[in-house]
Amino acid sequence: MRRRTIALSTALLAGALALSGCASGDPLADSGGETPTSGEPLVIGSQDYYSNEIIAEIYAQALEAQGVEVEREFRIGQREVYLPELEAGKIDLFPEYTGNLLQYWEPDTEARLSDDVYTALDAATPDGLRVLAQSPATDQDAYTVTADFAKQWQLTDIDDLAKVDTKLTLGGNSEAETRPYGPAGLAQTYGIEGVGFTPIEDGGGPLTVKALQDNSIQLAIIYTADPSAAENDLVALNDTKGIFLASHVVPLASDRVDDAAAKIIDSVSAAMTPADLLELNARSVGEELPAAQIAGDWLAEQDLA
């Protein structure tokens, strides 16, 4: 789905970088104004996942606007398919997720919180590849409640569940009951005792959302970037102790992505917030817009186009 080339002036990009706090001035300034990654086009890939394709398209359009030639290899599949292609040098840039990627390379990692996960991932990344700056945007499991329930009990963080003096029931796929983020893990990590569990086998989908809205459960495990959160006024509780593995959007790059191109991508990552990613996904699911349009609109809104 989705191709579109947009014009991006050096002055506008400089302004966007200043706003994002990522850098001051043109990301090409250190290269003397030369076009980055001259030579063969950079190959940009994506997972077979609509949200990942949108991010990849944002990378592609941001680079094209600065004169970088790119090729799109989208909807490749899962890590078992595309990571060997990256490691072989056949793909140059790929939007990834810190926690999930780290667990692929280090299944027994003990890193949980954002900075620890990123540091461990940087160390685990194979030769010939590197992770660029991680984005504030996340796409990871989270304990989720309705906005009304959060307001009633003044909930912001998972720790705040200690304030709730009524029975709490967690809903999720059946395997969650015995996972580290199930009721026993909640008690061990946060000291929240006596939480019940109701199996709902739709991976945080409409049945789970309905159970929250009906108050048959009070907690659900739903991805932070799932459009159903915005559509149904749901709130993800901040995980201050890492019961869920932190998983921020992060670009995985080959050595062919030079410093000038990396600065362009880093400016995109710095500008993308969790709310932005949620809105990008909602536009895809709700409005059924192509990735190219969603990407171009977002870049323009961020003054990156």
pLDDT tens, residue by residue, 175-210: 999 999 999 999 999 999 999 999 999 999 999 999
Report in angstroms the alpha-carbon separations of 100 from 22, 55, 95, 96, 198: 25, 17, 12, 8, 26
Domains recognised in the chain with CATH numbers:
10-138+247-301 (3.40.190.10), 141-236 (3.40.190.120)
CA distance linking residue 267 with residue 14, whole number of Å: 10
71 beta partners: 43
Assign 42 to helix, strand or coil: strand
Helix or strand (DSSP H, E) at 144: strand 141-146
211 within 8 A of 200, measured Cβ to Cβ: yes
209 within 8 A of 238, measured Cβ to Cβ: no
253 beta partners: 93, 130
b/e for 53-88, b at 16 or more Cβ within 10 A? bbbbbbbbbbbbbbebebebbbbbeebeebbebbee
Assign 209 to helix, strand or coil: helix
Tell me 175's DSSP state: G
Over residues 33-45, mean pLDDT = 73
What is the percent of the chain where pLDDT is above 90? 85
What is the side-by-side order of every strand in the sheet holding 42-45? 70-73, 42-45, 93-97, 249-254, 129-131
92 Cβ partners below 8 Å, 6+ apart? 42, 43, 44, 253, 254, 256, 257
**19 is written with which tokens?**
């706003």
Please, how many CA atoms are within 13 Å of residue 127, restricted to the half-sphere of its CB? 0
Assign 145 to helix, strand or coil: strand
Predicted local distance difference test score (pLDDT) of residue 38: 56
- The gap between the terminal CA atoms of the chain, to the nearest Å, is 20
Predicted local distance difference test score (pLDDT) of residue 36: 53
231 phi/psi in degrees, rounded to 5: -65, -30
Question: What mean pLDDT, rounded, does the chain reach?
Answer: 89
Tell me 214's DSSP state: T
* Residue reference for tokens 């410093």: 259
Give the model confidence (pLDDT) of 241-279 as tens digits.
999 999 999 999 999 999 999 999 999 999 999 999 999
| Rg of the chain (C-alpha set) | 20
pTM of the model: 0.83
CA distance linking residue 138 with residue 278, whole number of Å: 9
Per-residue pLDDT at 33 exceeds 60: no
- pLDDT band (50, 70, 90) for residue 37: low
**246 is written with which tokens?**
């932190």
**215 is written with which tokens?**
């108050």
